[in-house]
Amino acid sequence: MNTSTNKLSIVIITKNEQKFIADAIKSSLFADEVLILDSGSTDDTVSITKELGGKVFQQEWLGFGKQKQKAVELASNDWVFVLDSDERISHKLQDEILQELQNPKFDGYFIPRLNNFFGKDIKTCGLYPDYTIRLFNRQKGKFSEVEVHESVQITNTSHLKNDIIHLAYDSIEEFITKQNNYSTLNHKKRNMIKAIINPYWTFFKLFILKRGFLDGWHGFVISKLYAQYTFWKYIK
């Protein structure tokens, strides 16, 4: 339990996350409050959360940026950590967060994220350390109001050392489905030239420049599928 004077809320947005939510909440129980903002789950996400002592609020889907901002606003404390249901806060990160909250010198903190693809932790393809602001004082910053690829808008930031564990994709099929959905939300103006050229550049950048080849088959598949995602963005 957090013993610092700066109390912490951990917030998670959910919909039908029964596969992941229990372990996400268990990794969050060091905080003073854990809550989910659910957008109409029809599985056991809500009941699992309540059983583990988490608070539950309901909100129709607003888009990633607005939904996460709403969850932040529902928290009881100004210091918040925004977690995804398929992420886990490592024990080392828990300790580092609590230590930092004893006397925070910054308003927000970038956290390194270790992504796991198809059962393998990936540190190539530009996917590590994959810094993202997750711990911040909500009086000093807020989420951008975008459909996808949302981020916290805040100044006076620093970086923590220890990782969030992200269980990114169990299978290639799941990867394809999610990237297809993201490309719809994040589509660009149709551009045949970019649709032809940019996917080749994406693959070269990830597999060669970002050393995806060091992860062998995993690196090849990840680079190839992100190239496909780039193609989808410019044809939709």
18-34: per-residue pLDDT in tens?
Answer: 999 999 999 999 999 99
SS3 of residue 120 by DSSP: strand
pLDDT of residue 189: 83
Structure tokens given for 105: 């010198």
Query: 8-169 adopts what CATH topology?
Result: Spore Coat Polysaccharide Biosynthesis Protein SpsA; Chain A (3.90.550)
DSSP secondary structure code for residue 81 in this structure: E
* pLDDT exceeds cutoff 80 at 185: no
d(CA 156, CA 139): 13
Q: Is the pLDDT at 4 greater than 70, yes or no?
A: no
- The pLDDT of residue 3 is 60
Q: Per residue in 84-120, pLDDT tens?
A: 999 999 999 999 999 999 999 999 999 999 999 999 9
What ranges do the domains of the chain cover?
8-169, 172-233
39: pLDDT strictly greater than 80: yes
Of 106, 104, 128, the residue nearest 117 (C-alpha): 128
pLDDT-derived band at 2 (thresholds 50, 70, 90) equals: low
Predicted TM-score (pTM) of this structure: 0.86
Q: Strand, helix or coil at 97?
A: helix
CA 147 – CA 67 distance, rounded (Å) = 9
Give which of 17, 162, 179 is closest to 97, Cα–Cα.
162
The pLDDT score that the predictor gives to residue 1 is 59
Closest CA to 71 of 134, 27, 155: 134
